[in-house]
Amino acid sequence: MLSWFVRGLLIVAGLVTSWFVAADEPKFSVVQMTIAVLLCVLVVFVLAFWPQHWTERFNRLLKGPPPA
């Protein structure tokens, strides 16, 4: 399960890195790892500071309107 998260993270990081650095440059893997770490930090930051009212709002949206 963790390997899926890491693989997805590296795929996204590789895509973002390829916008700025050519894939055949020696520093590509270093920049890719740096972007992957920044994306991981971003995910942890969002999960840590997720407001409670967003959860309540999403729960109301998923349940739909109350039955009449």
**Once rounded to an integer, what is the mean pLDDT over residues 26-34?**
93
Mean pLDDT of all residues in 42-61? 84
Give me the residue spans of the domains in the chain: 2-47
Question: Which pLDDT belongs to residue 59?
Answer: 82
**Residue 66 pLDDT greater than 80, yes or no:** no
CA distance 42 to 23: 24
> Long-range contact list for 17-22, CB < 8 A, 24+ apart?
none
Q: Does the model's pTM come out above 0.75? A: no
Average confidence score pLDDT of the chain: 87
| pLDDT tens track for 38-47 | 999 998 998 8
CA distances 38 to 10, 52, 55, 62, Å, are 11, 24, 24, 31
Cα angle at 19 between 16 and 20, to 5 degrees?
A: 105
